Structure 1
Amino acid sequence: MLNPIAVTPGNSSITPIVPGFHPDPTVCRVGDDYYLATSSFEYFPAVPVFHSTDLLTWTQIGNILTTREQFVEGEGRPSLGVWAGTLRHRDGRFYYITTNVSDIDSGQIIVTATDPAGPWSEPVHVRDAIGIDPDICWDDDGTCLVTWHRFNFDVGGIDVHQAPVDPSTGEMLKPSYEVWSGSGLPSAEGPHLYRIGEWWYLLYAEGGTERGHCATVARARRPEGPYEGCPANPVLTRRSTNTPVHNTGHADLVQTASGDWAAVYLGVRPRGGTPGFHMLGRETFLSGIDWEDGWPVFVTDRYTVPEGLTGFVEDFVDADLQPRWVVPSGTLDDIERDPATGVTVPPTRRLCVRVRDLSWEAIADLVGDGSFEVRIDPLHNYRVDVVDGEAVAVATIGGREQTVGVAALSGGEATRVRLRAEAPPRQEVPLGVPAPDLIVLEFERADGWVELARLDGRYLSTEVASGFTGRVLAVGSDARATTARRIEYRPL
């Protein structure tokens, strides 16, 4: 059957608090303020960081890794780069620990700041901790503990280790040791360690980040264990359910200012025919937490999430780009900004912004020749090229590029290009449209908008493209520089 297209606004079990490609959330509270960071993979600046006073409405205040000294690019391939991390606050300082898998042999990265909006420090490497998904915590004596999933690209996941570490140098104070091995599901990773009452808790992501994803928990009297798993594990999962949100897991707990508990976690919103296709990547959701017999219980529908303000108009008049703008390789330094002409992206480069809605439209005012596209990665994208007096629609699927529409321009200094995602007709499989959405490529001529192509959105989904990211809009072209005077994005 078709997966539902519409979701009921407001229910926190089906409405993300940070929509679009924002996975692996980690959260901390300082007084009445909450701060949240998510993983970003190959995109730079890396690790978007958000602020909230109510856990429901979030504003991006910056990115944590903003220099290439903090984030080595490596090969720059899709879904490499910065994976999951942990954000914490202690003694007036914020700590963020993460893994750059493009430089995995350098170990975990710790950066610090007094202001979460930055600047953040140069990285300290925990070089003996090779793996992914690190956590940072402090024991009762003030010793810093780093817990991570041992991993390498030859054998994959191994186990979860912990070690006391000097966070100022990255030196291990004694050899690492194995802690809880998980509930028995594959891919026991994403550890977060907490001291809550008389217990130490380890919260894990298990089952892989696909349909079997879940959260599990164990507790011990000491941070090194021995741990006992919760009898109700997994404590969060949507596997084998007919709900609009799937792949739920990779959670992080936070105590609210009122003394209650909550959690952030990732999920996806698949659409279309079997097996379902998610296009926006993994998004961040919010759950309430109750405690029963000393164990956390996820109450995913506890909160009412207000309508988010995902739309924007960008005219590039500011000297600095808004923190929403990222590049999949290189830096922002060679992206030219001129208040009179807009932003110019050199050949082979892309300036990107995350798509955050299931139905949306985006309009780019291009000056001269150039390209505007929606993409998952270089091998999966749809775009409009403005070149030599024509608007050309191009689809790239699995690296194979094909022209799917051409029309003459009407002349003028700028050409408005519109990309739009529409819901397909609602019919039951096998007679219905299996696409999760339809991507419409258009440009504006003197006599109105001209449709160049209407394309199946499943080819710009994770289920087809693979990887850990989601759709982004991109200004840029492999063949030529692109100048955009204005970008408009709004949900439909």
Structure 2
Amino acid sequence: MRYRNPVVRGFYPDPSVCRADGRYYMVCSSFQFFPGVPLFESSDLINWTQIGHCLTRKSQVMLEGAGSSAGVYAATIRYCDGVFYMVTTNTSVGKNFYITTTDIRGEWSEPIYVEQGGIDPSLYFEDGHAYFMSNGVDDNGKPAIIQCEIDINTGEKLTLSRAVWNGAGGRYLESPHLYKIGGSYYIMAAEGGTEYGHMIVYGRGDSLWGPFENYPRNPVLTNRDLGGYTIQGVGHGDLVQSPTGEWFMVHLGFRQTDMWMPYHHLGREVCMTPVRFGEDGWFTCGNNGTTEQEYEINSDIPQNIRNVYTFANTSPDVEWCYLRHPDTSKYELSSECFVLRAGEHTLDDVASPTFIGIRQMDFRGTAEVEVTVDCGEAGLTMFMDENHHYDLMLRSSADGCEAILKLNIGDVKHEQFAVPVSSCRVRLSVELDNLSYTFRVIDGDRVIQCGSAQTRYLSSEVAGGFTGVFIGLFAQKNGCTALFADFRTEYR
């Protein structure tokens, strides 16, 4: 059976995976969006279902004032003695912490903080001991991948933080993980920055404290030299073994908009690449160290790709997200409609405007919703961050309603199109394409073409940061109350 990458589409970066009770569980970064750290489940590593989030309460994560691509960075998930552990960094407070649960579908604990710096923390368990690893600076001032032993019940450090590995010589050493396989310890990390030069490197040693000998052919996985290839930026991986003994690497990658257009706006997505161990104990990955879009594996389970998202087949607590901590009194969400009430903030603010969004999952398709407003502004936004978003909306005033297309690109905020409509209830539609978005409004029997805008201006290469585009619903200004109905996003 063949499967196709990415195995999870859209902005779900920095994947980490564990196996428990015959199933697999995966977490990803969430940055300034809430709830935080999306959580997935799978029985086969190919078909993943989001079952919720790990950070669901304000007490677990501070996001106030967190700019775009700040907040919650890369997470690691591990399972030991009946307990799940999710460990991550909140850059808004500059601290590493972990939370726990014995019920993967239930609530997670309050944070347990570890006084070790850096980002991208990971946990390793052995013989009743717990070890905490991150990139950063050790207690002697040495930058490296650093590690300490901790009391897993309290987070207290039981040893100094020690430098254990300096990687393979690339810049931005990050996302370390430690494994014991076949009697040897393997340490794996990413280098090159989470961009076109991204890569995965590893080393091997006889002690969990090192020294580690670098794999002679590092990097073990990278697409940095594959010009004109769709999947780029491959890095930040985690190893996992199937019940049949096969090894795979779950890692991030992004799809550029066209073979020769080095822009990506869907965000960093989840890919999976086969791993093979040699007789010498070293492992290789993919096709001569690169990730392909398709792989043949030993499985008879087909890959099911979900292409339709509606209010009825999604959950506000699962697929949908807010910006930072929302004022929940401003939202009434059901399987039939969403009612949003404007607060004091707009989409341009580093705050929590009245906004709820679902990730754009693929290049081509349509996103549509019927919106009714009583005053102010409300509509559909293709949202990258507070400085980069395209808004198709209704604006209500004493003179009636008009449909507006507003383009926000950096410091330029321009109302590209405005036309009166017959009522304050219309259908908003966005045609999705890899290179552009095309906007239209259906006003009764009239179809109003509002123009188009290029996707590149919502890309990470233009906007910066580490996130991806959301298809968002919003209400703002003048105490606006908006009713959204018949939402549908369909990919093709």
1:171 is paired with a residue whose SS is: coil
Give the structure 1 partner of residue 338 of structure 2. 342
CA distance in 2, matches of 1:50, 1:197: 28
Matched ranges for 1:54-69 at <5 A:
54-69=44-59
Residue 302 of structure 1 aligns with an amino acid whose one-letter code is: Y
- Cα displacement string for residues 230-279 of structure 1 (whole angstroms, at most 9, x for unaligned residues): 00100000012132101101000011111211110000111248551101
Counterpart residue type for residue 118 of structure 1:
G
Match of 2:220 among 214, 218, 235: 235
Q: Which residue of 1 aligns with 2:449?
A: 451
Unaligned runs of 5+ in 2: 346-352
* Whole-Å separation in 1 of the counterparts to 2:92 and 2:72: 8
Instruction: Name the stretch that deviates more: 365-374 or 210-219.
Output: 365-374
Q: How many residues align?
A: 458
- The answer to whether structure 1 residue 402 and structure 2 residue 414 are counterparts is yes
What does 1:168-247 align with in structure 2 at a 5 Å threshold?
Answer: 168-242=153-227, 243-247=229-233
- Cα displacement (A) at 1:461: 0.6
CA distances 1:201-251 after superposition (whole Å, capped 9, x unpaired): 101011111111000010111100111000010000001213210110100
2:282 is matched with: 295
Give SS of 1:131's match: coil
* Structure 1 residue 346, shift from structure 2 partner: 2.5
Partner deviation per Cα, 1:7-27 (whole Å, 9 max, x = no partner) = xx9554xx2011000000000
Deviation at 1:449, TM superposition (A): 2.6
Question: Does residue 390 in structure 1 map to residue 402 in structure 2?
Answer: yes
TM-score computed with the length of structure 1 as normaliser? 0.89
Instruction: State yes or no: 1:411 paired with 2:454.
Output: no
CA distance in 2, matches of 1:74, 1:386: 29
- Which residue does the alignment assign to 2:359? 354
C-alpha distance in 1 between matches for 2:382 and 2:485: 18
> Which letter maps to 1:357?
D
1:439 to partner: Cα distance: 0.7
The CA distance in 1 between the partners of 2:88 and 2:406, in whole Å, is 37
- Cα distance, 1:420 vs. partner? 1.9
**Judging changes above 3 Å, is the alpha-carbon distance between structure 1 residues 118 and 229 closer, same or farther for their aligned structure 2 residues?**
same
Determine if the alignment matches structure 1 residue 326 to structure 2 residue 311.
Answer: no
CA deviations on 1:73-127 (whole Å, 9 max, x unpaired) are 14221000110121011111101100011111xx31110111222210111000x
Structure 2 match to 1:468: 466
2:216 aligned partner, one-letter code: P
Which stretch of the first structure deviates more once superposed, 446-455 or 22-31?
A: 446-455
Match of 2:271 in 1: 285
Moved more, 455-464 or 469-478: 469-478
- 1: CA distance, partners of 2:410 / 2:488: 28
* Residue type of the alignment partner of 2:363: L
The one-character-per-residue Cα deviations of 1:146-204 (angstroms, maximum 9, x if unpaired) are 1101179xxxx932110001121110001110011000011111000011111011010
TM-score by length of 2: 0.89
User: How far apart are 1:341 and its partner, in Å?
Assistant: 5.7
CA drift of 1:451 comes to 1.2
How many angstroms does 1:345 deviate by?
4.1
Partner of residue 119, structure 2:
132
Q: Find 1:145's aligned residue among 131, 137, 148.
A: 131
Contact 1:85 1:97 in 2 (8 A): yes
Which 10-residue stretch deviates more, 304-313 or 55-64?
A: 304-313
Change beyond 3 A, Cα 1:411–1:467: same
2:62 to 72, 76, 79: 72
Q: CA deviation at 1:307?
A: 4.5
Q: Tell whether 2:39 aligns with 1:53.
A: no
* Structure-1 separation of matches of 2:164 and 2:185: 12
Which whole-Å deviations, capped at 9, do the CAs of 1:53-84 have from their partners, x for residues lacking one? 01111100000000111111142210001101
Distance 1:273 1:456, change over 3 A: farther
For residue 342 of structure 1, report the CA deviation from its aligned partner.
2.9
SS in 1 for 2:323: coil
Distance 1:332 1:224, change over 3 A: farther
The match for 1:311 is: 308
Q: Secondary structure at the residue paired with 1:308?
A: coil
- Change in Cα spacing, 1:214 to 1:332, as seen in structure 2 (3 Å) is farther
Structure 1, residues 301-335: CA drift from partner, whole Å, max 9, x if none?
5346725104211159x9x7241111112236234
**Contact 1:372–1:417 under 8 Å retained in 2:** yes
User: Which residue does the alignment assign to 1:249?
Assistant: 235
Within the alignment, does 1:366 sit opposite 2:360 as a pair? no
Rounded to whole Å, the distance in 2 between the matches of 1:290 and 1:384 is 49
How far the C-alpha of 1:365 sits from its partner, in A, is 1.4
Inter-partner Cα distance in structure 1 for 2:47 and 2:3: 14
User: 1:211 corresponds to which letter in structure 2?
Assistant: Y
8 Å Cα contact 2:309-2:489 kept in structure 1:
yes
Tell me if structure 1 keeps the 8 A contact 2:340–2:475.
Answer: no
Q: Secondary structure at the match of 1:61?
A: strand
Root mean square deviation, CA, Å:
2.1
Structure 1 residue aligned with 2:29: 39
Structure 2: distance between partners of 1:273 and 1:253:
29
3-state SS in 2 of match to 1:183:
coil
Answer yes or no: is the 8 Å Cα contact 1:64–1:118 preserved in 2: no
User: Counterpart of 2:96?
Assistant: 108
Distance 1:478 1:274, change over 3 A: farther
Percent identity among equivalent residues? Answer: 32
Find the aligned partners of 1:421 and 1:246 in 2 and give their Cα distance. 21
Q: Is the 8 A contact 1:28 1:254 kept in 2?
A: yes
**3-state SS of 1:334 partner:** helix
2-structure distance, mates of 1:422, 1:459:
14
Q: Which amino acid aligns with 2:221?
A: L
Change (3 A) 1:208 1:177: same
Report if aligned partners of 1:62, 1:118 keep a CA contact under 8 Å in 2. no
**Alpha-carbon contact 1:326-1:332 (below 8 Å) kept:** no
Q: What SS is found at the alignment partner of 1:463? A: helix
CA distance in 2, matches of 1:70, 1:338: 23
Q: Deviations over 1:16-45 (max 9, x none)?
A: 011000000000111321111110111000
Closer/same/farther in 2, CA of residues 195 and 133 from structure 1, 3 Å limit: same
